[in-house]
Amino acid sequence: MVTTRQWQIDKNVDNLTSCPQIKEAADLLKKNEVVAFPTETVYGLGGNALSDEAIEKIYKAKGRPSDNPLIVHVASLQQLHQICSDIPGTAQKLIDAFWPGPLTIILPKTGQLSTRVTAGLSTVAVRMPEHPVAHAIIEACNLPIAAPSANSSGRPSPTLAAHVLHDLSGKIAGVVDGGAAGVGVESTVVDCTVEPIAILRPGGVTREQLEAVAGSVAADPSLSQPDKAPKSPGMKYQHYAPQAPVYLVPGGKEKIQELVKQAKNDNKQVGVLTTEENKHAYSMADIVITCGQREDLTSVAHFLFESLRAFDETHVDLILSETFPMQGIGAAVMNRLSKAAGGKILE
């Protein structure tokens, strides 16, 4: 058990890198400790990407499988070139269009990174966060920072500092509380070592946005090959799961109402994950939790993980979830829900 320090900081403060909270967090990172901080997607658990010691602490704190690679966060193009041996033309177009922001790019790596970061692969997943607190911390420590989501492995990703503390207090050196994360789901991951480029994980940058810049964009075939070594986080293992099992129900409100009735007849406590528009449709359910508005899927993405975590404060035996259109950010929402459900669908 370690003492987990906590710092609160306003992301709107001018010259964040000079703030004592940022300096203290950066000093810990330079000593190969691990520190959680907000990004524009979710909270990340940061460690020095050049240090085996720091990366081992990340895996240990999360209980993360060691063959699941980590995303490296940089604050400058100089840091990018320090860890990547080649930037193909299409990758440069994506960098120009979406960095800083919620886009992770797979690129050939240099030999400077800890091999633990990349799980032995010849490539690295890298992004430049837009969140001013994340950017300031990376600048202040002047290191590339590996930062998976700051949660216990398999749990819903954290969008608030309180989520981080719930999972990791006593396991990590510190948490920088910069308020709620913005997008609410992790970054899009794109493999730029193949042609055409391939989406390995949908996220905050949509496929439609990528195609507008890069032209043809494929879905990586390894998404359907679960035994293959993952090139990116989120490809192999079950993630984002609350304590009760989640079932996706594509049949709409009537189907969910029918399933609620069946479960109640079996003396089960039932939770329903829905939207503001439909929250009054499930009066028979024991718990109804909303995750935004169906007409605004960005709000669903923003509140999704917080809503899944909220079920852990209840005593439901199962969770029935509505499904969402696969267009735009909806693809990322459905990717996370499918992972949370372990692929369980009630047709």
- Note whether residue 292 is domain-resident: yes
- Note whether residue 152 is domain-resident: yes
CA distance 9 to 179: 8
Residues 214 and 250 in one domain: no
- Note whether residue 32 is domain-resident: yes
Cβ proximity of 156 and 241 under 8 Å:
yes
Residues 260 and 116 in one domain: no
Q: What is the mean pLDDT of the chain?
A: 94
Domain limits for position 291: 246-340
Query: pLDDT of 38-83, one tens digit each?
Result: 999 999 999 999 999 999 999 999 998 877 899 999 999 999 999 9
Tell which of 190, 224, 258 closes a domain.
224
**Considering the entire predicted model, what is its pTM?**
0.93
Q: Which of 271, 242, 273 is nearest to 156 (CA)?
A: 242
- Note whether residue 260 is domain-resident: yes
Query: pLDDT of 167-186, one tens digit each?
Result: 999 999 999 999 999 999 99
Q: How confident is the model at residue 227 (pLDDT cuts 50, 70, 90)?
A: very low
Residues 22 and 111 in one domain: yes
Phi and psi, residue 316, nearest 5°: -70, 150
Cis peptide before 100 (omega within 30 of 0): yes
Which positions ≥6 away from 243 have C-beta within 8 Å?
311, 312
Can you give the CATH number for the domain in which 289 is found? 3.40.50.11030
- Note whether residue 232 is domain-resident: no
Say whether pLDDT at 229 is over 90: no
Tell which of 189, 224, 259 closes a domain.
224
- Note whether residue 50 is domain-resident: yes
Cβ proximity of 108 and 191 under 8 Å:
no
Q: How far is CA 176 from the centre of its chain?
A: 17
Strand partners, 8: 177
Number of domains in the chain: 2
Residues 220 and 292 in one domain: no
Mean pLDDT of 213-231: 69
Mean pLDDT of 280-291: 97
- Note whether residue 236 is domain-resident: no
- Note whether residue 346 is domain-resident: no
CA distance 158 to 152: 10
